[in-house]
Amino acid sequence: MNDRVPESVLNATLAMEQISRAWDDDIVQRLEDYIRIPAKSPLFDADWAQNGYLDTVVRHAASWIEAQQVEGLTLEIIRLEGRTPVLFFEVPASTGAVAADPDKTAAKPTVLMYGHLDKQPEFTGWRSDLGPWTPKYEDGKLYGRGGADDGYAVYASIAAIQALKRQQVAHPRIVGLIETCEESGSYDLLPYIDALRPRLGEVALVVCLDSGAGNYDQLWLTSSLRGMASGVLKVEILTEGVHSGDASGLVRLRRRHRVCAAHHRRPGAGLAQPHLGTDPERDRRRRFP
């Protein structure tokens, strides 16, 4: 997989030059605009719908994509009722210099490019001259919340597709799915995948632009992602003391009393936690008259 793409297929040096120029002249500024908007994930902004920041960043990204005039690209902002919005784009397969025949390419596999535009919250610990919503470009690095995770994804996807188009390189059908619920566990993503399933096509490769790489010398694969299991843990304990010959289980009050009593019996032990200083005998009489 580390083989260079043959020059006859893609002039990688030229593509790198063009993409780097696009970033320096345009995309970095778009990311600075993006950083200024506190588009926090719904988990960190209960009023996300009223605040409208997620909608704003999706609309900004959509208008930038439209301005790139990528050959054949169509896009749509999709909003399922009560869910965070997604940006969906499609680029038909191309045979390169020869115009693609949609009938011949329809059955070919699709490449899915994934990213997200919602952000983590502010958090603390920023250097005094930096902050989450105040972008600063310094020594080749852009500081601020969300630029790398994951605002860059939509711009990188389109810049890569545009590089292929400029050199008339053949490519399969490409779709892009940019969500705004990732930092909340992507609970809105599956309903969108269900709704978009007919339009996604036969996805054979997912390029998830939300990971890291050890260097820029070769393609890195992420073979596993962290997962999340969520649920509600309900713990029930005995509410009444019962004889150990009849039943067993944790009994909240009596256990605490035993701990307190043991503590008090130790020579020289003070009452470490006065609020625990109850009288076990008195309580027992009250509960079991």
Who's near 252: CB < 8 A, 6+ residues apart?
Answer: 237, 238
Cβ 39 to Zn ion, closest distance in Å? 13
Residue 118 sits in the site that holds Zn ion (CB under 5 A): no
Residue 210 sits in the site that holds Zn ion (CB under 5 A): yes
Indicate the SS3 state at residue 106. coil
Total chain residues near Zn ion (CB under 5 A): 3
Closer Cβ to Zn ion, 151 or 172, answer by number: 151
Q: What is the DSSP letter of 238?
A: B
Q: What is the DSSP letter of 80?
A: -
Closer Cβ to Zn ion, 58 or 260, answer by number: 58
Cβ 203 to Zn ion, closest distance in Å? 20
Closer Cβ to Zn ion, 30 or 183, answer by number: 183
Residue 150 sits in the site that holds Zn ion (CB under 5 A): yes
Residue 149 sits in the site that holds Zn ion (CB under 5 A): yes
Residue 188 sits in the site that holds Zn ion (CB under 5 A): no
Find the angle CA(114)-CA(116)-CA(118) to the nearest 5 degrees.
170
Closer Cβ to Zn ion, 55 or 149, answer by number: 149
Q: d(Cα 43, Cα 157) in Å, to the nearest integer?
A: 26
Residue 283 sits in the site that holds Zn ion (CB under 5 A): no
Closer Cβ to Zn ion, 32 or 210, answer by number: 210
Containing 258, the helix (H) or strand (E) segment is helix 252-265
Q: Which residues bind Zn ion (CB under 5 A)?
A: 149-150, 210
